[in-house]
Structure 1
Amino acid sequence: MSSVSLPAELMRRYRRLFRFYDRDGDGRHTLEGDFEPVAVRIARRWQGRPSRFPDLLGLLLDTYRHENTRRDRNHDGTVDQEEFVASHGRVFDAFQSDPRAAREFMARSAGGFFDVLDLDGDGQLDVDDLAAFAAAYGHTTAGIAANLDRMLAGLGLPPGRLPREAFLTLVEQYWFDPSPEAPGRHLFDGVGLNPAALAP
């Protein structure tokens, strides 16, 4: 599927997500400029704690490297916004073709990332877990608690903590449900994007 045939609402979300991930604000994604510093910060949160991940930094770097390579259609070592949105068009198409397989993949991939953020391993993310992720990309986090509670209310859940299954529901809605009613449409709201990421 080309990005042209994606629902306009999803294209808007993917473009915002591109800016969210563009840590250094240069209009492209690179391992060194954007994802390596994030991986280091996320892995550092686990220092001094028992971890289910023997080499968390290596795991994160391998994952980010794989994703960036998959999106890099012209093989120049960087991913621009057009490539990023187009890659999500292919993912959207795969979801439409086989939702069950896509959900199984999300349970492994997004579920695995949930485990990386869930520092105390209780099966729920709290505001600090979410804020640490956004801050790793250089974004301000003052609105995260209110945004989390808004999404939880939309799912009929109590405020303050995001259970794993609810997280997977929000991920699916953000990526694949263009409805203006889907609570997951707010998944990457509640942060002030790094000013560098807003540069043209």
Structure 2
Amino acid sequence: MAKEIRTEHFPLILHKTHSLRLRSKLEGPAWEDCQYVYNMLKQSPLGHAISKHVTIYPELLQEFWWNEETVYSGTNMWIQSQVMGFTIILNEETLRDALRLGDDPDTTFFPREILEETLKDIGYRTPNVLRQISMSGFIQPFQYLVTQLSVCFSKKIGHFIELSYKMMEVVHVVVQEKPYNFSKFLMRNLKSNMHTRQPF
């Protein structure tokens, strides 16, 4: 028997298209200050992933998440689902190919000390935060950078007032031009959302 699809489980149901793209049509002095950050993002390994316009079909998205099954084989993990009778497999490799991510499979973690050095480098004003990093602590260009990355890649839904140290890894990678396994980062977030039924 097919499972009932309950729309309250899927906050993206009202999104006709992928609206989390990199914003580029901004005006005024603030945008002039952000221009070099925008160019930095476009030239980073995330350039394609955050600028590609994607049409979302809510019914297919619902079906994918409702039928999903997490599969483990050794240290590997992937998500398998049935959509319109087709088997869909989502893993690091498919994410890497679809989003054209420039991954380094061996780099998945940065110590907090290194991330706090990057915070200082980009002028973060209140670095003595134990768990979360306040968006208001960034100067305008990097506030734009952090907001764009959070909207595109964070698993949060709603306002982005704080930044976790895990999301700060992505900021660090873009700013310092360091290698990183973005696909593993995304799969890790997908896995953490399995039980909440929130599509990430």
The answer, yes or no, to whether TM exceeds 0.5 is no
Task: Looking at secondary structure, tell me which structure has more helix per residue.
Answer: 1
Please, what TM-score do these two structures have when normalized by structure 1? 0.38
**Structure with greater Cα Rg:** 2
Please, what TM-score do these two structures have when normalized by structure 2? 0.38
